[in-house]
Copies of this chain bind each other. A is one copy, B any other.
Amino acid sequence: MKKITILIHCKDRSNIIASVTNFIAKKNGNIVYLDQHVDRQQDIFFMRLESEFINDDFSTDTFKACFKKELADKLEMKWRIYSSDKVPKMALFISKYDHCLYDILGRYNSGELNLTIPFIISNHKDLKPIADNFKIPFYHIPVTKDTKIEAEDKQLELLEKHNIDFIVLARYMQIVSPKLINNYPNKIINIHHSFLPAFVGAKPYHSAYKRGVKIIGATSHYVTEELDAGPIIEQDVSRVTHAYTIKDLIAKGRDLEKIVLANAIKLHSERKVMVYNNKTVIFS
């Protein structure tokens, strides 16, 4: 049994669902999941569909070719088709904070995540022992003003060599360059330690403390060239009080950050996220 996931978006028009579901039926697929969304402001149709094919000689490549020719080209669709037997490859970029790293690697080791982590990159050596414990190759690529371009070239080389599908900045603490972003559009996931769009940029817990908010948050989003302004994948919040010091906010925030980032990683790796107009459609 083969299983594929199809993501589609196109200009809204009549009978798209019927056309797609018919196409699947004719190919002897059994639809096990279908969700759709119409953005009425933009007049765009979105769909996510999972289908199973029982015949042994099903070929994802052949299916893709048919899909393109018989359906997608006619309806001017943008589409992606994933075979469930192809597990995505995720690169982890870290710095000195370890809470998201422990959380991700704990989940990874337990088999909770449907992905592989070929390597970890860090601009500091501090967390190498954790990578070692979990037996994940660790590359120390220092980043300074002078070596930034060079460092990034090394990163890109590793990413390409390992055919990385997406990158997770697990509190990486560095602004990534347009070059990297353009190579991995909507494929670099960041965790920002505030409830965006509040407290963009550095030291959001300090700003939250100063403003006296009663709730703090964390936001996972795709990285775009504008800082902390990319499409939001997932957010969560926690209640705080006047009694919280900045240190308390940071500690409470760590739990938010790791859960929010883990959820974003799961949504992305299970191909449940579509991006359009700097926003996400999440089919979960």
Contacts and interface: CB of A to CB of B under 8 A. Distances in A.
A90 B195 CA distance: 33
A243 to B, nearest CB: 6
A215 B198 contact: no
Nearest to A230: B212
Contacts of A107: 99
Contacts of A17: 17, 21, 31, 34
Given A99-B110, A110-B99, A243-B37, A213 B199 contact: no
Given A34-B34, A242-B37, A242-B281, A231 B255 contact: no
A31 B24 CA distance: 18
Contacts of A241: 282
A203 interface: no
A236 B215 contact: yes
Nearest to A236: B215
A109 interface: yes
A148 to B, nearest CB: 28
Main secondary structure of the interface of A (DSSP, over half): mixed
A34 to B, nearest CB: 6
Contacts of A237: 215, 237
A38 interface: yes
Given A103-B103, A232-B211, A236-B215, A30 B14 contact: yes
A75 interface: no
A235 interface: yes
Interface in A8-39: 14-15, 17-18, 21-22, 24-25, 30-39
Interface of A: 14-15, 17-18, 21-22, 24-25, 30-40, 98-99, 102-103, 105-107, 109-110, 112, 133-134, 195-199, 211-215, 217, 231-237, 239, 241-243, 245, 251, 254-255, 259, 262, 278-282
20 contacts: A18-B22, A32-B38, A34-B34, A37-B242, A98-B110, A99-B107, A106-B106, A112-B254, A195-B198, A195-B215, A196-B198, A196-B211, A197-B199, A198-B198, A211-B279, A212-B278, A212-B279, A214-B234, A241-B282, A255-B259
Given A196-B213, A211-B279, A213-B232, 7 more contacts: A18-B21, A22-B22, A40-B245, A99-B112, A215-B217, A215-B235, A241-B282
